[in-house]
Structure 1
Amino acid sequence: MNLPKAIADLVKAQDNFDSVAYANCFTEDAVVHDEGHSYTGKSEIQQWIEKANEKYNTVMQPIDLEETGAIRILTARVSGTFDGSPAVLRYHVELKDGLIQSLKITG
Structure 2
Amino acid sequence: MNLHKTIANLVAAQNNHDSQAYVACFSDAAIVHDEGKTHQGKAEIRQWIARSDHEYHTELKPLTFEETGAKSLLTAEVSGEFPGSPAVLRFHFQLEEGLISSLRITG
Same fold (TM over 0.5): yes
Deviation at 1:67, TM superposition (A): 2.6
* C-alpha RMSD of the superposition: 0.8
What residue in structure 1 maps to residue 85 of structure 2? 85
Question: Which runs of at least 4 in structure 1 moved beyond 3 Å after TM superposition?
Answer: none
1:16-38 Cα distance to aligned partner (Å, 9 max, x none): 00011101100000000000000
> Are positions 1:105 and 2:105 aligned together?
yes
For residues 1-107 of structure 1, the aligned pairs below 5 Å read 1-107=1-107
Matched pairs, number: 107
Determine helix, strand or coil for the equivalent of 1:47: helix
Where 1:84 maps in the other structure, the secondary structure is coil
Distance in 2, Cα, partners of 1:60 & 1:100: 17
SS class of match (1:45):
helix
Rounded Cα–Cα distance in structure 2 between residues aligned with 1:57 and 1:101: 24
- For each residue in 1:15-72, what CA deviation from the matched residue of structure 2 results, as whole angstroms up to 9, or x when unmatched? 0000111011000000000000000011110010000000000000000011345321
TM-score, normalised to structure 1, is: 0.97
Unaligned 5+ runs, structure 1: none
Aligned equivalents of 2:70, 2:83: Cα separation in 1: 32
Task: Between 93-102 and 63-72, report the one with greater CA deviation.
Answer: 63-72
